[in-house]
Amino acid sequence: MKTTTQSEPNDGVQAPHRPELLMAARHGDRDRLKRLLGTVSPPVALPVGEVVLHVEDVETVGVGVDDDDDAEPTAAVVTSAEAVTVALDSVLHVVASSGDEPAFLESATAVHARASHLLDAGNGKGDTPLHCAARAGMVRMVSHLLDLARRGGGGGVAGDAVARAFARRRNSKGETALHEAVRLGSKAMVEALMSADPELARVVAADGGSPLYLAVSLGRRDNIARLLHEHDRGLSYAGPDGNNALHAAVQKGKGN
């Protein structure tokens, strides 16, 4: 699904020194991206003033699984040399939020093949490409990015563990992509994320808000909240300021 008005990854201003790379990402132009990122052979000369992402021998996606399930994984950060907007969005952030038609999925794969660490890298607000795809409502892109993480981890049990850690990445607000899926009200996206990590609804934001609390406070008890429960009976009920999902339900009931 591609929205009519494309979502900006972080409402960032375009970096003027990389316009062709930015536009190729926004339009899902896989072949152009490959040329600009130097993934075709022989290399194609770039236009004067064009800058290629500089990546030095990065191996797979930079996510790991800690033995402590409560430990928050450390995410990579997009560097200024890799950013295509002043908000530190990488080319993968832009692709992920711009569409989820085949051309965009193929573009994401092409970028990942050249710079796999960008899959896990946060922009200026700590959002990974997964956060951006979820916020923009790109369900197929969310599934595709999770699959890239799984394949980057070698597939099988090890790949599942990498995808799980990737799904748990938090932005500067402490939110995972599941918070965005709940906010959007997308059952398909919630399914995709919780299939990667059935316990994802136990991760709360920096303000203490759980995905369940968010769902209830937004009046989505009968669809999203129910779906979260179906995936994990041990999910968090926590909410900000000592409140919880039950408090939110009572308050929502009073408002009806």
Most confident of 2-6, 42-46, 55-59, 75-79: 75-79
Position 26 in a domain = yes
Q: Which residues contact 230 (CB under 8 A, 6 or more apart)?
A: none
The neighbour count for residue 244, using CB atoms within 10 Å, is 18
Q: Which domain holds residue 220?
A: 198-256
Q: Is 183 inside a domain boundary?
A: no
Q: Supply the pLDDT for residue 198.
A: 98
**Same structural domain, 162 and 232:** no
Cα 113 from Cα 110, distance rounded (Å): 5
Q: Is the pLDDT of residue 224 over 60?
A: yes
- Tell me, what's the pLDDT at 73? 54
Mean pLDDT of 186-215: 98
Query: Does some domain include residue 9?
Result: no
* φ and ψ of 184, to 5 deg: -75, -25
Last residue of a domain, one of 173, 207, 238: 173
Give me the number of domains the chain comprises. 2
Residue 236 shares a structural domain with residue 154: no
Q: Domain check: are 101 and 52 in the same one? A: yes
Whether residues 205 and 166 fall in one domain: no
Higher pLDDT, 42 or 120: 120
Q: Are 76 and 129 in contact (CB under 8 A)?
A: no
Question: Are 158 and 223 contained in the same domain?
Answer: no
Question: What are the pLDDT digits (tens) for 86-132?
Answer: 899 999 999 999 999 999 999 999 999 999 999 999 999 999 999 99
d(CA 15, CA 10): 13
44, pLDDT greater than 50: no
Domain of residue 143, CATH code: 1.25.40.20
Does 166 share its domain with 239?
no
| SS3 state at 238 | strand
Q: Is residue 8 part of a domain?
A: no
Tell whether 123 and 161 lie within a shared domain: yes
In percent, the amount of the chain with pLDDT more than 90 equals: 68
Q: What is the pLDDT of residue 76?
A: 81
Question: What φ, ψ does residue 76 adopt, rounded to 5°?
Answer: -75, 170
Same domain, 61 and 151: yes
